[in-house]
């Protein structure tokens, strides 16, 4: 009989994330240092457990019209089919067509941080994205519809009591920059429904539950559209 336990493996994964986020909050004195440490915890989780077609980095997002998003803590993007990712003086710049999901990483969730994350998410979703017809052996597939960019918020704890309750529902209600998924590692997970409602799941193993739900959502979004590289090339003449 095997001594392996899937329950233990999934539980340990959550406990590791929660412990590292708690350590960043309690040990580091400067708010910027705390924020950077928290971002690293989430980025390392994604880099370790997401399929290799995805990469996760802090980055700016740009479109073929030359418009940039705000700086995003966590951008999950395609690396298998994306023809270019810019790295300028250590700052990553990702074409809008390559983006699957964006998240803000904060110490605690509250109304201010929810609104802030909504603004960051909207700055990415508002960008222009191209989608070309796709050649194949039998002809040409039509351009893929642009997939929904998943947006969310990642924190260690909550400033509300209860941690995930009506105050959170109220803060999430804005249709602008709607957040689809979030994790409050010490307390629970929230998920947005297609009807505008939210499911708040308190307790359990939030970090692991969030990771599995994110993977399921990424699977549903399929592959990013075929980017029109020539639309970006026009900036060479500027």
Read off φ and ψ for residue 169, nearest 5 degrees. Answer: -60, -45
Write down the catalytic residue from 106, 122, 180, 205: 106
Q: Could you confirm whether 106 is annotated as catalytic?
A: yes
Distances (CA, A) of 33 to 24, 30, 37, 102, 178: 8, 5, 6, 21, 28
Measured distance CA(56)–CA(100) in Å, rounded: 10
191 three-class SS: strand
The first and second tokens of residue 56, run together, are 């996760």
104 is catalytic: yes
- Can you tell me the distance from the alpha carbon of 1 to that of 108, in angstroms, rounded to the nearest whole number? 43
Looking at the DSSP assignment, which residues form a beta bridge with residue 157? 108
* Among 18, 63, 97, 104, the one annotated catalytic: 104
Catalytic residue among 18, 73, 78, 180: 73
CA distance linking residue 62 with residue 113, whole number of Å: 24
* Closest C-alpha to 96, from 116, 117, 121, 69: 69
73 flagged as catalytic: yes
**Residue among 86, 123, 81, 129 nearest 102 (CA):** 123
Provide the token pair at 118.
């909504």
Question: Strand ranges (DSSP E) for 15-88?
Answer: 54-62, 72-78, 86-88
Candidates 189, 225, 214; CA nearest to 76 is 214
| Contact between 13 and 207 (Cβ < 8 Å) | yes
Catalytic center residues: 73, 104, 106
């Amino acid at each position: 009989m095997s001594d392996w336990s899937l329950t233990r493996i999934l539980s340990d994964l959550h406990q590791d994330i929660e412990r590292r986020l708690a350590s960043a909050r309690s040990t580091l004195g400067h708010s910027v240092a705390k924020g950077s440490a928290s971002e690293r915890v989430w980025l390392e989780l994604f880099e370790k457990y997401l399929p290799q077609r995805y990469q996760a980095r802090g980055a700016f997002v740009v479109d073929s019209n030359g418009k940039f998003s705000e700086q995003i803590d966590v951008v999950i993007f395609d690396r298998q089919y994306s023809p270019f990712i810019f790295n300028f003086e250590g700052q990553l710049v990702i074409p809008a067509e390559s983006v699957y999901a964006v998240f803000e990483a904060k110490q605690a969730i509250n109304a201010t941080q929810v609104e802030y994350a909504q603004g960051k998410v909207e700055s990415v979703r508002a960008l222009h994205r191209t989608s070309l017809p796709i050649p194949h052996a039998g002809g040409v597939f039509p351009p893929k519809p642009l997939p929904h960019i998943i947006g969310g918020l990642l924190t260690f704890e909550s400033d509300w009591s209860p941690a995930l309750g009506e105050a959170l529902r109220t803060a999430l209600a804005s249709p602008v920059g709607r957040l689809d998924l979030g994790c409050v590692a010490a307390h629970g997970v929230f998920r947005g429904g297609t009807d505008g409602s939210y499911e708040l799941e308190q307790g359990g193993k939030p970090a692991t539950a969030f990771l599995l739900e994110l993977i399921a959502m990424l699977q549903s979004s399929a592959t990013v559209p075929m980017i029109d590289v020539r639309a970006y090339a026009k900036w060479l003449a500027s």
